Chain A
Amino acid sequence: MQNIIEVNKISYNYPERSLLFDNLSLNVREGEWLALIGQNGSGKSTLARLIDGLLVLKSGAITVDGLPVNDENINEIRNRIGIVFQNPEDQFVGATVEDDVAFGLENRQVPREQMHEIVEKSLKSVGMWQFRERIPANLSGGQKQRVAIAGIIALHPKIIILDEATSMLDPQGRNDILQLVRDLKEDNHLTVISITHDIDEAAGADRVVILNQGQIIDENTPDGIFAQPQRLKQIGLDAPYPAKVIEALSRRGITSDKQYMNDEELIAWIKQLVSRM
């Protein structure tokens, strides 16, 4: 598969802070779901902002869909990337649901006649069309995130970045949003980067990259990453549920040669244990 994002030996630091990224490189393949995990302050969100040109690199280069991220390409880059941010409240610009979806279109000077059609289609695709006249104060956090996603879909991006987009939602809202993004990814052949410290969210990805203090310390399939639950704990992340079960069983003298299995494997193993004995 082709790389849609190439991050090449970048360095960055916030003003008056020490270097956060030093020579960091990372490629994102077209059409994959990449989970970027790490604790707060590890640089996950900063990386997303650098990719979208919201912050300016100190050195190195980033290309998105073949375009180098720079002043000249900034509009093109932002046409290709949609970001859903953490706080549902702070990305709702419009006075009502439909005005908010239209905001990005207005910025790109899309003619009015086209806008109405696009807004309707986008809101329907996230199931919020019947709420189009609501004001943000009368929406739940999950509904606001849906509107944010509609605002992104309206611009036909190639890449969606979820920047801890579900961390302020209740469990139900979280599952709803992830399912929605999965469906949209299929329908629109999107590339998804999900920045999260929710291990369950990461489990659904094609590939997981662990960021710790500005460095990529591992990248692998979810199963490969989760095979080292101790390591996840060390850098302040949670072990996935099956790993906790395996660990607890081993403390009771029931050991496996694997440190991690996914749900199905674990069930099969336990079944085997119970029937074999």
Chain B
Amino acid sequence: MPRKGQTLRFNLLAMFIAIIILQTSIPLIGYIPIGPLSITIISATVVIATILMGTLDGAIVGGAWGVLTFIRAFVWPTSPLATIVFVNPVVSVVPRILIGVVAGVTYQALRKRFKRQSVSISIAAVLGSLTNTVLVLGLIYVFYRANAPQLYQVNIKELLPYLLSVVGTNGIPEAIFCGVVAPLITLPLQRMLKGRL
């Protein structure tokens, strides 16, 4: 007999991956366009998975998003940014995985400190989302400062300030969004899954 909840965990992971596939293909539930910016709400999905199922599973869901971002940068890019930076698997995958790791570790550390669950979830979500932004920024800087060889051979050095500012300005509303929405979604789901994982 499978360990209690093992099949459920397996299927929950499958469903989260399905949701992320959906979010990367349907703008309405994946991205919120605000003026020239387009903030992603997928990082919230990774945070929610992390808090419901734990750090490892959160990292897996984040990784799935990363791999999808990577593949999409070739097959169906959504922005010039994607064609330039996300064709590098390190930039597209690693930060996404670390959303789960950072959110998970933060949540575990805080959950007993705050009486209200929503506070610790919110903080974990903000930090998780910021991890993504900061790492994408950092990795772009590391990789392209020195004009490393890259797929489309665009002269990125000159573009660097532009890239960094786009990622940076998206990052702030993204983190706020995550912080507000993650607890609102996670709490009812926790209630549904109580004692079953």
Contact = CB atoms under 8 A, between A and B. Distances in A.
Contact between A and B in the complex (any CB pair below 8 Å): yes
Interface of A: 15-16, 53, 71, 74
B1 A15 contact: no
Interface residues of B, number: 3
A9 to B, nearest CB: 23
A53 B195 contact: no
B195 A74 contact: no
Contacts of A71: 1
Contacts of A16: 194-195
Contacts of A15: 195
Interface in B173-197: 194-195
Nearest to B196: A15
Contacts, number: 6
Contacts of B195: 15-16
Interface in B142-197: 194-195
6 contacts: A15-B195, A16-B194, A16-B195, A53-B1, A71-B1, A74-B1
Interface in B48-86: none
Interface string B19-62: 00000000000000000000000000000000000000000000
Contacts of B194: 16
Contacts of A53: 1
A16 B194 CA distance: 10
A19 to B, nearest CB: 17
Report the 6 A-B pairs with minimum CB-CB distance, sorted nearest first: A15-B195, A71-B1, A74-B1, A16-B195, A53-B1, A16-B194
A74 B195 CA distance: 23
Nearest to A53: B1
A53 B4 CA distance: 12
A71 B194 CA distance: 24
A53 B2 CA distance: 11
B4 to A, nearest CB: 9
B119 to A, nearest CB: 25
A16 B196 CA distance: 12
Nearest to A75: B1
B85 to A, nearest CB: 33
A74 B1 CA distance: 7
Interface string B99-136: 00000000000000000000000000000000000000
